[in-house]
Structure 1
């Protein structure tokens, strides 16, 4: 497991693209808290595992990280993503994930996500 905060977030993004929830959870503390704005927080690995249970390679996101900033135990990663939901509907949007790390693991993650139109999402990745 890496000690470089930016490399850790890059590894986490890969776990999402591979729909490997268990690999993501290995990067988290046992009492991790995921604040997904607009929804109730997911607290603990079991809650995240349950919430993401339908994620699989067919509906895993394609993540285009465009900027990452790290200072101390905080890492912010912004970019765009594309995904198909479990009903087959295509989604794309812009995101910003803010990670708070503790001893090289994710203690808290706050995610901001806005659906975008196709052209807007493409412009953000340039």
Structure 2
């Protein structure tokens, strides 16, 4: 299966290619995503529905650092997301992923809107 870091790289590549089901295959059924200061998504179906609304076009990632330690991988970088009105938002993010049995079980995402 590869290291947790390799799994995250493959999962992010699937998202960038618009293959959201391919991405979700890397998540546990009970995956929990917390966007700090915003919302928490419980379970793969909630994430699927969130992606359908928020990823009208595949997001564009620019990962600056991937740091792996034990069951955690932290990704730091920039992301561009285009909304349903065609407006592109630019964000800096820090995603802290916790893995369980080779799958992404929990995400704590710190996302801050930035200027282009």
Count of matched residue positions in the alignment of Structure 1 and Structure 2: 115
Distance across 1 between alignment mates of 2:29 and 2:82: 29
1:26 matched residue in structure 2:
25
Unaligned residue ranges in structure 2 (runs of 5+): none
Distance across 1 between alignment mates of 2:51 and 2:33: 12
Give 1 or 2 for the bigger CA radius of gyration. Answer: 1
Distance across 2 between alignment mates of 1:40 and 1:113: 12
Distance across 2 between alignment mates of 1:10 and 1:77: 10
C-alpha RMSD of the superposition: 1.2
1:121 matched residue in structure 2:
none
Distance across 1 between alignment mates of 2:88 and 2:39: 24
2:61 matched residue in structure 1:
63
1:7 matched residue in structure 2:
6
Distance across 2 between alignment mates of 1:13 and 1:94: 16
Distance across 2 between alignment mates of 1:4 and 1:116: 31
Cα drift, residue 117 of structure 1: 0.9
Distance across 2 between alignment mates of 1:24 and 1:94: 21
What SS does structure 1 have at the residue aligned with 2:99? strand
Cα drift, residue 11 of structure 1: 1.0
1:106 matched residue in structure 2:
104
Q: TM-score, normalised by structure 1?
A: 0.85
2:75 matched residue in structure 1:
77
Higher strand proportion: 2
Unaligned residue ranges in structure 1 (runs of 5+): 119-126
